[in-house]
Structure 1
Amino acid sequence: MTRKIEAKPQGAVESRSFFQEAWTRFRRHPLARLGGGVLLVLYLGALFADFLAPYPETKSFRDLTFSPPTVIHWRDDNGRLTRPYICAVERKRNLETFKLEFVQDCSQKYVINFFVQGEPYKFLGFIPANLRLMGGDWLQNEQAYLFLWGSDDFGRDLWGRIWYGARVSLTVGIFATALALLIGVFMGSLSGFFAGKPLTLSVGLLNPAYRKFLASSPLPNLLKTLAWLALWGGLAWLIWVTVSGFLATSRGLEAAVFGVVGIGLLIAIGYAILFPVVKIDLDTVIMRATEVLAAIPDLFLLITLSVLIPQGIPPAMRFYLVICILSFVNWGGLARVMRGQILQLREMEYAQAAQAMGASDARVIARHILPGTFTFLIVNVTLAIPGFILAESGLSFIGLGIQDPASSWGLLLNKAQAQGITAFVDRPWMLIPGLFIFAAILCFNFMGDGLRDALDPRAKR
């Protein structure tokens, strides 16, 4: 039995989904593809930093500070190609210029081997491994070393430190963007969906007997309000005195923060007790909060919040705190844009139909409104990540972000700035981390532009 194959009508076009069309348009964007490829290399390098680096992250050579890049030889004494090797190096001071110089002694040669076993490390933080890209006898010799891009002020390999620092600089952008996206989408959705719809909250702390007492009390409402506010204000003042006195000898700024928060909470509780039914306009509250954040310069706010990070905490904890600070400062802009989109999408027929059928507000937002913002969110993520990378690099550059012995591109660039004009003249390899920051941000912008053009629903097919 033969199967009959129906021929397609002449001139028929194969139907493709929106994302298939978007992928086709993205592939036609050469700069976007270039940016995506470079970013893939950077993230793979950060993932396999222990494999690429010949030395551990914190290993230093005190006698090899600011060592220039090691010369790798590919030819023997007769000029024939051979396996790559390095020569022994002796550190001497030039008696004419009084500068330290590194003189090669090629009577002692050390071959560079690839894919060898070196010092152990944990891949992904928990998988034991010891395979490294480069190794050889020079690892155990004090007269030979391999610094592909020179060393820093502690004699640490800059090549390995850059890849170790990529883990912080690149992942800070992703995690901070994800947290800011979560806060911004949540706040923007509430603000847009409930715009013009004040919420009425009934405080459950008030039992009917207490409400009846408030209603039958001969005191005017104004006096009752002032009395209760005075009571809660007095309790807040006691907490303020206690906390500030306890922390006065250590960090007075925390005392001020705790005092302000305590006063605010107690006043809110007092207001809730005085007024059993509270009307809250979420749109007004959230938008005013974003305006306050927008009114404060980002750099000033970042520096102020970074000062609150205690000194001496573990690098991992500082990393998470930096992420939280960056997210807190930058969620406002996303919330305002989301509010505008939600205001438009909530008036669509399908959203109105879902509400008419009795769907809850949470279901309408999550199932019917938010999916309409996915293309915008994808583009926003790719354009927001470079901003967070630059912000973290700026904090680390001025000494308020990641601290030694951890590494980040901004911290490495700070080492070059600390040397002044010398870094440009005598130690140009110290500026290499700046090139990585420039490349990562540029590639993210290229890819973001390509995604914006590809995911534009108004683009021609």
Structure 2
Amino acid sequence: MSQHWVSDKPFDPHATSALSPEQEKFFLASQWKLIWWKFKRHRIAMLSAVFLIITYGVAFFAEFFAPYALDTRHTDKIYSPPQSVYWFDEGKFVGPYVYGWSYQLNMDKLIREYSEDRTEKYPVQFFCEGDDYELWGMFSGNTHLMCVDAPGSLYLLGTDRLGHDMLSRIIYGARISLTIGLIGIILSFVLGLTFGGLAGFYGGWIDSSVQRVTEIIRSFPELPLWMALSALLPLNWSPLWIFFGITLILAMLDWTGLARAVRSKILALREEDYTTAAILMGAKPSRIITRHMLPSFFSHLVASASLSIPAMILGETALSFLGLGLRPPITSWGVLLNEAQNINNVAVYPWLMLPVVPVILVILAFNFMGDGLRDAADPYRN
């Protein structure tokens, strides 16, 4: 009789004695942990994620980070160029400070020429008291990250034609532009998952109907369609309704690509054994889609969403720049760029184009982070 080599000990599914500690850590890790490990190795994506977290944090607490309130005007300092901040005085480190800021009218060029008054110095203070504000309309306060004592001024990015501080306006505008991207992608996500999931799971006339609708929407040029729908918004709507209207327009035209991706995944997954088992056990279609199918490729959906947010931000910026999106008193990056349409003003006051810088940086950061997430969504690929 041959020797019996099968162990009669109780089976332990977590026993990994044959694996090294590194192998055990890898093979027993969850999907999200694998994605996080892979994402951390993508340095540019990690830096982009940190930059976006900081940007959204600044936008969330815009009242605190902005040197001045949104509606504060300095009528005696219109079209002021950016001021310089100094750290050394006569070779000694004294901390940040600015000189007095004054101007003279140039009657030949019909512009204001600003100059520093070296006899006046104003230290830049941090966590100081400045303009009053209401944080998110609920909490009153007057503490700002940085400011200078009156009659000094702190225009790090200059002022516009009404004497508004450009840095403060850009910070306040970030709240609107970035919020539209998040709310828009949530709405687009819901529509894409719903219609794509139904089309892929049921097929038949439902699939055909969804596909024909997506083809019709995608056949129209995107920007002209945005402009046409934005022009239909009533002029007497409040700024809040205009905000939601623009967000809804962007979401309604962006869900088609996600719906097609979800449909193709569902078509493949509905033939899997675990899906058939769930159907035979009497699970409802909604449970099969949400509990069994979507989690298997949800990481890919997160990567797709991160790459779609820049399109939302660019859409709002383009519409507001053309005067068909958000309108004052709402402040967004597109609204700020709309005020810089006059090329003659831009040639004389180039700092009016500075709102385009955060748009470029945020779009690049989202794209880099999206690339990192897309690579990390397949953790077992080298």
Q: 1:362 to 1:73 in 2, by over 3 A?
A: closer
Are 1:400 and 2:321 an aligned pair? no
- Given residue 332 of structure 1, which amino acid in structure 2 is its aligned partner? T
- Given residue 202 of structure 2, which amino acid in structure 1 is its aligned partner? F
Q: 1:312 to 1:108 in 2, by over 3 A?
A: farther
Deviation string for 1:217-248 (max 9, x for gaps)?
Answer: xxxxxxxxxxxxxxxxxxxxxxxxxxxxxxxx
- Given residue 67 of structure 2, which amino acid in structure 1 is its aligned partner? P
Q: CA deviation at 1:439?
A: 0.8
Q: Which residue of 2 aligns with 1:349?
A: 273
Counterparts of 2:242 and 2:98 in 1: how far apart (Å)? Answer: 39
Summarize the alignment of residues 361-400 of structure 1 with structure 2, pairs less than 5 Å apart.
361-400=285-324
Aligned length: 364
- Given residue 110 of structure 1, which amino acid in structure 2 is its aligned partner? Y
Are 1:459 and 2:381 an aligned pair? yes
Q: Which residue of 1 aligns with 2:85?
A: 72
Summarize the alignment of residues 282-431 of structure 1 with structure 2, pairs less than 5 Å apart.
282-416=206-340, 418-420=341-343, 422-423=345-346, 425-431=347-353
Q: Which residue of 1 aligns with 2:123?
A: 111
Q: Which residue of 1 aligns with 2:201?
A: 193
Unaligned runs of 5+ in 2: 1-14
Q: Would you say the 8 A contact 2:67–2:144 is kept in 1?
A: yes
- Given residue 160 of structure 1, which amino acid in structure 2 is its aligned partner? S
Q: CA deviation at 1:79?
A: 4.5
Q: TM-score, normalised by structure 2?
A: 0.89
Deviation string for 1:269-293 (max 9, x for gaps)?
Answer: xxxxxxxxxxxx2222221111110
Counterparts of 1:408 and 1:10 in 2: how far apart (Å)? Answer: 55
Q: Would you say the 8 A contact 2:170–2:355 is kept in 1?
A: yes
Q: CA deviation at 1:387?
A: 0.9
Q: Which residue of 1 aligns with 2:143?
A: 131
Q: 1:11 to 1:360 in 2, by over 3 A?
A: closer
Q: CA deviation at 1:372?
A: 2.0
Counterparts of 1:107 and 1:340 in 2: how far apart (Å)? Answer: 70
My pick for the range that moved more, 173-182 or 110-119, is: 110-119
Larger Rg: 1
Q: CA deviation at 1:190?
A: 0.9
Q: Which residue of 2 aligns with 1:93?
A: 105
Q: 1:309 to 1:110 in 2, by over 3 A?
A: same
**Alpha-carbon RMSD:** 2.1
Are 1:446 and 2:345 an aligned pair? no
Summarize the alignment of residues 227-238 of structure 1 with structure 2, pairs less than 5 Å apart.
none
Q: Which residue of 2 aligns with 1:179?
A: 187
Counterparts of 1:328 and 1:107 in 2: how far apart (Å)? Answer: 58
Counterparts of 2:171 and 2:234 in 1: how far apart (Å)? Answer: 27
Counterparts of 1:381 and 1:10 in 2: how far apart (Å)? Answer: 37
Q: Would you say the 8 A contact 1:192–1:338 is kept in 2?
A: yes
Q: Would you say the 8 A contact 1:58–1:405 is kept in 2?
A: no
Q: Which residue of 2 aligns with 1:44?
A: 57
Q: CA deviation at 1:9?
A: 5.4
Counterparts of 2:16 and 2:263 in 1: how far apart (Å)? Answer: 49
- Given residue 242 of structure 2, which amino acid in structure 1 is its aligned partner? R
Counterparts of 1:310 and 1:168 in 2: how far apart (Å)? Answer: 20
Q: CA deviation at 1:191?
A: 1.0
User: Percent of pairs identical after alignment?
Assistant: 39
SS at the partner of 1:92?
strand
Deviation string for 1:270-325 (max 9, x for gaps)?
Answer: xxxxxxxxxxx222222111111011111111111101112243322211111101
Q: 1:153 to 1:7 in 2, by over 3 A?
A: same
Deviation string for 1:39-98 (max 9, x for gaps)?
Answer: 12211211221111121112122332221012334344x453324333333331124444
SS at the partner of 1:403?
coil
Q: TM-score, normalised by structure 1?
A: 0.74
My pick for the range that moved more, 97-106 or 346-355, is: 97-106
Unaligned runs of 5+ in 1: 1-5, 197-280
